[in-house]
Amino acid sequence: MELGMIGLGRMGGNMVQRLLEAGHRVVAYDTNPDAVTAYQAMGAQGASSLQDLVGMLAPPRPVWLMLPQGQPTEDTMQLLAPLLNSGDVILDGGNANYKDTLRRAGELGSKGIDLVDVGTSGGIWGLAEGYTLMVGGRKEVFQRLEPIFQSLAPGADRGYSHIGPVGAGHFVKMVHNGVEYALMEAYAEGFEILAAKEEFDLDLPSIANTWRHGSVVRSWLLDLVVSALEDDPSLSDLEAYVEDSGEGRWTVQESVDLAVPAPVITLSLLQRFRSRQAQPFGAKLLAALRNQFGGHPVRRTNNGDG
């Protein structure tokens, strides 16, 4: 098959390479011309603009966007849509909010253009291991493009599926990332407890490696724990500062909207917020209150009086 790929960052670029290795024709475009040149060297057809990319594809055209969610995706779709014809398809593999996906699908549908939302998991390992693909959109469009999904997935018979109508792919990926937050937090807390038991002088990489085999907590995330701890057992080169991509927030908000309790996912998100605060005001107020009602000692900053 042939496919247009817009966005040649780590994920998009690796997808291009995987598709080329599977024998597909890929027309690649990025605002960075050097990225286009790099994938041309691997066998992709390079496009100099969105218009150029569309002109190099035969109708009905499938065009995959692998861009940051929010404005970059919004702007690109607004520029791309007038260049496409009825029957063409835009596939959005980024971490878009499913509500934005539903709105965009309505706008594109009025022009006869299908939007397929592909919740994509796999990160930098996707090139070698394949990507998990959660696909939303019309079933007949999914079936027509299935060879693309099969080539990107871990296998032709696994790791991808048609989740439901448009919007469902990004919704399921959102919840997937919320679960991921919670699993990561559980590992982080467990290994912090192990590290704090100093009298046992525990070998954390060895423990993590032991858990990988036969344990009920074994997982690919645990494999990555081993990799991180073997590189730096004390993690001394890292700051305790954890960003969030936004999907954990959306998952928590959805749990509120649906009145479905999600305490573990919610707390894992709040822990990320706390990691970014060097001197959280709330903790200072707790200290002040203990001092106020019980006379408990407090620690003063260097710029305090006395």
Catalytic residue positions, numbered: 173, 180
What lies within 8 Å, CB to CB, of 2 at 6+ separation is 24, 25, 26, 27, 57, 58, 62
Q: Which residue has the tokens 């991180």?
A: 228
Contacts of 173 (CB under 8 A, 6+ apart): 95, 119, 120, 121, 134, 247
What angle is formed at CA 266 by the lines to CA 214 and CA 272, rounded to 5 degrees? 85
Of 171, 6, 156, nearest in space to 83 by CA: 6
Q: Any idea what the Cα angle at residue 124 is, between residues 119 and 125, rounded to 5°?
A: 90
Tally Cβ neighbours within 10 Å of residue 194.
Answer: 14
Distances (CA, A) of 220 to 186, 189, 226: 14, 17, 10
Residue 83 CA to residue 172 CA, distance in Å, equals 30
Cβ proximity of 82 and 63 under 8 Å: no
Question: Residue 226 to residues 69, 205, 233: CA-CA distances in angstroms?
Answer: 31, 6, 9
